[in-house]
Amino acid sequence: MSNAALPGLERLLNMPEAMRPTPLIRLDSVSKRWGESVGVDAVDLEIHEGAFVVLLGPSGCGKSTTLRLIAGLETPDRGRVFIRDADVTARAPAGRGLSMVFQSYALFPHLTVRDNITFGVRVRGLPKATIAERLGRAVAMTGLEGLEARKPSELSGGQRQRVALARAIVAGHPICLMDEPLSNLDAKLRHSVRQEIRALQRNLGMTVVYVTHDQTEAMGMADRIVLMDRGRIAQAGTPEDLYLAPASMFVAGFIGSPPMNMIGAVHVPPALRFGILERDFGGDWVIGVRPENLEITAGGDDGLPVRIRDVEYLGAETLVYAESAAGPLIARSPGPLPPLSGGGASARWAGTAQHVFDSTTGRRLEPAPAIRSSRGTVPIPPADQPRDAAGHRWCNAHGGL
Ligand SMILES: Nc1ncnc2c1ncn2[C@@H]1O[C@H](COP(=O)(O)OP(=O)(O)O)[C@@H](O)[C@H]1O
Ligand SMILES: [Mg+2]
């Protein structure tokens, strides 16, 4: 995705780690548990000013706990939380200079839209003129003009959502934390509010930490995604980093729909043994191939033999569902496909599309040979690179943001 609207951020993300300014928010080895229940486990995280960072992962992986630790609604058992270089670990939420938008919106039912939006700043005692000026701006930005006198019960879900957003804008805090703010909206509205939130964040130069379990939402909105798994960070990077070079089978399976095909190395025919498989075949490995990189054709004897189960023509693309000795496979190709008759078919992919994982640890073993992204091509590491390339940028689970 492009950060063209934010040239400053683009520059920042490309800067070598050592030259980057201090992160706006930093979690330093933060852990939080309740008895046996692990909220987060030794999480290291850096969030830079002006970034839109999405905490992503399945239910219960620790997204809300991470957000609440940043907000000060939870206190860590271990580790420290920093905002602008200040250790805020023990500081109350009100002293951290941030606003929060929750799934529930948390609006006062007896207050009007106007009073809900301005409640916090009135409590803080901001001058009346400042409040009026900010209110006008926030109402215009969120398209709530004309609804100022209504009560929340007289609003649609989308409008209530915007009131919660307007309240965060009026607060004027440079950091906004959002926990699944769109989950009460229907799919169509979710899409448009998503774009509004992104535009607002850019226009106001806010730093947003946004929680969702929806990978499409994360891919579309984030400058940086932090994908979590059981209280830990599975991988942190740009949407492209996670899609093109997933650090583990978990990441590969979570990002992308339909998910990446996983093929046990023993099933890979000699003609499709590329890179590490070619050099050192026999490992207990899993080969990952994205559906758009898998080609299923009738006939051909050097590919992986498959039986076609179903073909779904979806207009812009066609999905082919097949069975193989390695399990079910899905191929995706643009537009319609010529009819695939029954009988023998085979699956093929290019060496550049292959992802190799250790089936025991689930970790990525070798990067895709050349990963092309909007930020140029990631260099190809030498062939004698150690098996577990943990030190490499694309495998670094705890990379700075
Ligand atoms: N107040 C709490 N008491 C006990 N367990 C909790 C509490 N809050 C969160 N947890 C547990 O911590 C884990 C992470 O929760 P959470 O951060 O809410 O996940 P997510 O937001 O990713 O769905 C879950 O197993 C959850 O049950
Ligand atoms: Mg949650």
Burial class, 40, CB count within 10 angstroms (exposed 0-12 / middle 13-18 / buried 19+): buried
Helix (H, G, I), strand (E, B) or coil at 203: helix
| Residue position matching structure tokens 């003129």 | 129
Ligand nearest to the CA of 103: 2
Cβ neighbours, 10 Å, residue 75? 11
Q: Taking a C-beta distance cutoff of 8 angstroms, is the pair 332, 378 a contact?
A: no
Q: Whose CA is nearest to atom 17 of ligand 1?
A: 62
Q: What pLDDT sits at residue 45?
A: 97
**Using a 6 Å cutoff on CB, does residue 40 contact ligand 1?**
no
Q: What pLDDT sits at residue 267?
A: 94
Q: What pLDDT sits at residue 142?
A: 82
Residues in Cβ contact with 248 at an 8 Å cutoff, skipping those fewer than 6 apart: 234, 235, 357, 361, 362, 363, 364
Q: What pLDDT sits at residue 397?
A: 33
Q: Taking a C-beta distance cutoff of 8 angstroms, is the pair 161, 190 a contact?
A: no
**Using a 6 Å cutoff on CB, does residue 59 contact ligand 1?**
yes
- Rounded distance between C-alpha atoms, residue 145 and residue 148, angstroms: 7
Of 301, 282, 299, 289, the C-alpha closest to 263 is: 289
Centre of ligand 1 to C-alpha 36, Å, is: 11
Q: What pLDDT sits at residue 386?
A: 33
For residues 153, 156, 158 and 163, what is the CA-based torsion angle, rounded to 10 degrees?
-30
**Using a 6 Å cutoff on CB, does residue 39 contact ligand 1?**
yes
- Rounded distance between C-alpha atoms, residue 253 and residue 63, angstroms: 18
What's the N-to-C CA distance of the chain in angstroms? 16
| Residue position matching structure tokens 């999405």 | 54
Q: Whose CA is nearest to atom 18 of ligand 1?
A: 64
Centre of ligand 1 to C-alpha 65, Å, is: 6
What does pLDDT average to in each consecutive run of 10 residues of the chain (401 residues)?
49 62 93 96 96 97 97 97 95 92 85 94 91 91 90 89 88 91 80 84 91 95 97 97 96 96 95 87 87 90 91 93 96 84 83 93 75 44 34 30 35
Residues β-bridged to residue 287: 263, 356
Q: What pLDDT sits at residue 19?
A: 64
**Using a 6 Å cutoff on CB, does residue 32 contact ligand 1?**
no
Ligand nearest to the CA of 60: 1
- Rounded distance between C-alpha atoms, residue 215 and residue 111, angstroms: 35
List domains and CATH numbers for the chain.
7-244 (3.40.50.300), 254-367 (2.40.50.140)
Cβ neighbours, 10 Å, residue 96? 20
Distances (CA, A) of 83 to 69, 72, 89, 311, 389: 12, 11, 9, 52, 32
Q: What pLDDT sits at residue 76?
A: 98
Ligand 1 atom nearest 39 alpha carbon: 12
The alpha-helical segments, DSSP class H, found in 15-148 are 63-71, 113-123, 128-141
